[in-house]
Chains A and B, each alone.
Chain A
Amino acid sequence: EADIYQTPRYLVIGTGKKITLECSQTMGHDKMYWYQQDPGMELHLIHYSYGVNSTEKGDLSSESTVSRIRTEHFPLTLESARPSHTSQYLCASSEYFAGGTEAFFGQGTRLTVV
């Protein structure tokens, strides 16, 4: 069973608010990822990290930012939420070394900005 946790599971927030989506894993994985997915649509990579102090932007441009100060923690922040940010956000992690290793996903945070 995957040991990766996202909080909150659901969040409804007003436009202009600052929010932080939390993601933590207890597997000691170096690589972590954030994906964004609208209902019935594909997952889009928005941020990833190879380890502490490493953050990169993904394929889909996002107004969110991330930080990686500790191996186990990879929070995503929106400074000023807008209705266009309404989506599901999925966090994942995997080991660093070679072999096509599997990614473990959290349960996701469904964000609604009103």
Chain B
Amino acid sequence: LAKTTQPISMDSYEGQEVNITCSHNNIATNDYITWYQQFPSQGPRFIIQGYKTKVTNEVASLFIPADRKSSTLSLPRVSLSDTAVYYCLVASSGGSYIPTFGRGTSLIVHP
């Protein structure tokens, strides 16, 4: 299973774009990159998943370069409610995959 590395914490201000980069040098050919968001005292919530290039949904965008050794979660125009921990996971395409979470990135959005 590919190990991921992401910053422990980040600070931003309302209205700014936030980019959180995750390194996954040992990603396998059939692995996906998945991001979760966790608010205090709640379980994580899936926000986006991608395999290569760019994926966008109503919450975020995910940029994955051609070598797939890293990925960047982009949150446009953050608000105070985006303050949360963001986890990057490399998800095996095999049926036996078990989600394993690291420390994640604690994002604090300031007024």
Contacts and interface: CB of A to CB of B under 8 A. Distances in A.
Interface of A: 31, 33, 35, 41-43, 45, 48, 50, 58-59, 88, 90-92, 94, 96-108, 110
Interface of B: 31-32, 34, 36, 41-46, 49, 91-104
Contact of A90 (B43, B46, B104): B43
Contacts of A99: 32, 93
Contacts of A33: 98-99
Given A105-B44, A108-B42, A100 B32 contact: yes
Nearest to A99: B93
Contacts of A104: 46
Could you tell me the dominant secondary structure of chain A's interface residues? loop
B111 to A, nearest CB: 22
Given A98-B95, A102-B49, A45 B41 contact: no
Contacts of B34: 100, 102
A25 to B, nearest CB: 12
A108 B41 contact: yes
Nearest first, the 8 closest Cβ-Cβ pairs linking A and B are: A105-B43, A100-B91, A100-B32, A102-B46, A43-B101, A98-B93, A90-B43, A42-B103
B39 to A, nearest CB: 11
6 contacts: A43-B101, A48-B98, A98-B93, A99-B93, A103-B99, A107-B42
B98 A45 contact: yes
Contacts of A41: 103
Q: Identify which of B34, B49, B91, B103 gathers the most chain A CB atoms within 10 Å of its CB.
A: B91
A107 B43 contact: yes
A16 B91 CA distance: 39
A107 B42 CA distance: 5
A88 B77 CA distance: 31
Contact of A96 (B49, B91, B95, B103): B95
A48 B100 CA distance: 11
A60 to B, nearest CB: 11
